[in-house]
Chain A
Amino acid sequence: MYKEKTIPVYVKAIEQENEFIRRFTLASVNEELLPKFSGGAHISTYIEHGELLVRQYSLTSNPDDTKHYQIAVRLSDTSRGGSRYWHEKMKVGDQLQISYPKNHFPLSFKAKHHVFYAAGIGITPFLSMMNELHSRGSSFELYYASKTEEACAFYDFLQEHYPNQYRFYFSNKRERINSSSLEEHPIGTHVYFCGPESFISDLTESAYQLGYPPSAVHTERFTPPQPKDMQPFNVQLKDGTLVEVARDQTLLEALLNKGIKAPYSCRVGRCGTCELQVVEGEIAHYDSFFSEDQKQSQSRILTCVSRSKSAMLVLDV
């Protein structure tokens, strides 16, 4: 029914973490164990609500405990229905489908030391990663920026579980994560960045400037990286229709504007729903869904984020 194999689950518990963030505990409907996962993994959730809402959330629970999964959902001010549904409609006992866990943000097995840099809800993938390292006895630290203490998700949890391994930065107290901390990490360290785009790109740039090798820098984006210089292009459909995609518009938006029923859900290049076949032209992939091989094959495009390198793209719709 969906793009991938799914697991039926139900909401076992809901906790209000703070004003904007709720935690949901999910369990299999037939009380079976859920698949194992590794630190940094996420799932897609499928909710039928008029339209199909597909969203990705990092698993925040202990990877060793597969009786339940836990996710943390932040109510987004620009919600297109996903986080709003989770916050306003989801009740204990409700059923939904989830994907098998996937991991685009795994821990390095080569690192001698791991340092996590989180801003806001960017903390979520690090919870399972820290859990995994903690049980392996590996060394790690967390640098975590939040607007205020109240808005800081998992504040109590972190203090209780990793009392000597975190540093908080609250912007209402004029505290900021400074890239100078990158200067202090001993050789053999791997750094992991998760948060808003500017947070990730600033830190990544600073790390490279210091001479960090690319393989020691890991990032997880919840929004797609914006191509620096967006170019307009044209697409041609099977029936010959020509659609112009403006500089500041996504291919998906252009198709929808033309009244074409293009599929979509997450709109950030993470769920795969908006995939279309490409017959001709060179694709510039910006999603985090396709594998390198799939990208290389140049035969499918995720219209919500990806664009064209050639002036014209011919689609099989």
Chain B
Amino acid sequence: MTEAVFVPGKRKYVFCSDQEGIKLLFNVIEQVKEEGRPYEIFKIVENQDCLELGELLKKQKMGTHLYVALPYAELEKVRKTAEEIGFTEEETQYIGYGNKVKRIFCCRCHGMNETADVQADILCSQCGLELSISDHYSVFHNAFLGFVAKL
């Protein structure tokens, strides 16, 4: 998703973003204020882990809508955290910005790679192995697993 859309009729709204991302949520925050609905803003600083955010999300009750606006590379970490707590697709909007690169870690050498084209296989920049990109996201690496493309 590239633009946050105001979803009316929720009991509460939680916004989670960094300095830059908050601009992408500005319109929705204004609408929430206009409707007089409760809301909360959680600021993420660069390379912060999700522990504190997780604590905040766990406290939310049913009927809460979550907006997250972060650089693409940071988005997955938060998505994973929110999903584990129980936020479903219907209750969340993730807005990425910046370079649409995916981080891929190599299954053999654990080297980190970046790619913009997630359809194509890549060559690991560190060990040269040809990698296919999986859906398996690792919080630890903040990257998707690249597995052996040709056996």
Question: Which one, B80-88, B107-115, B138-146, is touching chain A?
Answer: B80-88
Please choose the segment from A20-28, A42-50, A178-186 that sits at the chain B interface, where 4 or more of its residues have CB less than 8 A away: A178-186
CB of A210 within 8 A of CB of B63, answer yes
Interface size on B, residues (CB 8 A): 19
Q: Of residues B60, B63, B64, B87, which shows the largest number of chain A Cβ atoms within 10 Å of its Cβ?
A: B63
Write the chain A residue with the least CB distance to B13. A211
Q: With A183-B11, A187-B57 as known contacts, state yes or no: A210 contacts B62, CB within 8 Å.
A: yes
- B59: chain A residues within 8 A (beta carbon): 186
Quick check: is A75 within 8 A (CB to CB) of the other chain? no
Q: Is the CB of B91 within 8 A of A186?
A: no
Most buried by B among A111, A187, A207: A187
| Minimal beta-carbon separation of A80 from chain B (angstroms) | 39
Query: A-contacting residues of B (Cβ < 8 Å)?
Result: 9-12, 57-65, 85-88, 90-91
- CB closest chain-A residue, reference B12: A211
- CB pair A187–B60 under 8 Å, yes or no, is yes
Q: Is the CB of A213 within 8 A of B61?
A: no
Given contacts A112-B85, A210-B11, A211-B10, contact A186 B90 (CB under 8 A): no
How many angstroms from the CA of A215 to the CA of B92 in the assembled complex? 14
Chain A residues with CB below 8 A from B86, complex form: 111-113, 186-189
A296 to chain B, nearest CB (A): 24
A-B contact pairs, 22 of them (CB 8 A): A110-B88, A112-B86, A183-B11, A183-B61, A183-B63, A185-B61, A186-B60, A186-B86, A187-B58, A187-B60, A187-B85, A187-B87, A207-B62, A209-B9, A210-B62, A211-B9, A211-B10, A211-B12, A211-B64, A213-B88, A213-B90, A216-B62
Query: Contact at B62–A187, with CB atoms within 8 Å?
Result: yes
Specify the chain A residue showing the minimal Cβ separation from B37: A211
Q: Is the CB of A189 within 8 A of B62?
A: yes
A170 lies within 8 A of chain B by Cβ: no
Q: Is A222 part of the binding interface, using a Cβ–Cβ cutoff of 8 Å?
A: no
Kindly report which residue of chain B lies nearest to residue A210, judged by CB atoms. Answer: B63
Closest CB in chain B relative to A231 CB, distance in Å: 30
B61, A187: Cβ atoms closer than 8 Å: yes
Residues of A within 8 A of B91 (CB): 187, 213
A184 to chain B, nearest CB (A): 7
Q: What's the Cα separation between A187 and B87 when bound, in Å?
A: 6
Residues of A within 8 A of B63 (CB): 183, 210-212
Interface size class of A (residues with CB under 8 A): 20 to 34
Among A223-274, those with CB < 8 Å from B are: none
Of the residues A185, A188, A214, contact of B87 by C-beta under 8 Å: A188
| In the complex, chain A residues whose CB is within 8 Å of the CB of B88 | 110, 213, 215-216
Which residues of A are found within 8 Å of B11, using beta-carbon distances?
Answer: 183, 210-211
A221 to B90 CA separation, bound complex (whole angstroms): 25
- A211 vs B10: C-alpha distance when bound (angstroms): 4
Task: Please provide the 4 A-B residue pairs with the shortest distance between their CB atoms, ordered closest to farther.
Answer: A188-B86, A211-B63, A211-B10, A210-B63
Q: A188-B85, A188-B87, A210-B62 are in contact. List 15 more A-B contacts (CB 8 A).
A: A112-B85, A186-B61, A187-B57, A187-B58, A187-B64, A187-B85, A187-B86, A209-B9, A210-B10, A210-B11, A210-B63, A211-B63, A211-B65, A215-B88, A216-B62
Which chain B residues lie closer than 8 Å to A215 at the CB level? 88, 90
| Chain A minimum-CB-distance residue to B82 | A187
In chain B, what residue has the closest Cβ to A115? B62
Give the chain B neighbours of A210 by CB distance below 8 A.
10-11, 62-63
- Expressed in whole angstroms, the Cα–Cα distance for A209 and B91 within the complex equals 14
A208 to B7, CA, bound (A): 13
Complex contacts, A187 vs chain B, CB 8 Å: 57-58, 60-62, 64, 85-87, 91
CA distance A157 to B59 in the complex (A): 33
**Residues of A contacting B60 with CB < 8 Å?**
186-187
Q: Whole-angstrom distance between the alpha carbons of A214 and B9 in the complex? A: 13
* A184 adjacent to B61 (CB under 8 Å): yes
In the complex, which residue of chain B has the Cβ closest to the Cβ of A110? B88
Q: How far is the CA of A182 from the CA of B62 in the complex (A)?
A: 8
Q: Closest CB of chain A to B90's CB: distance in Å?
A: 4
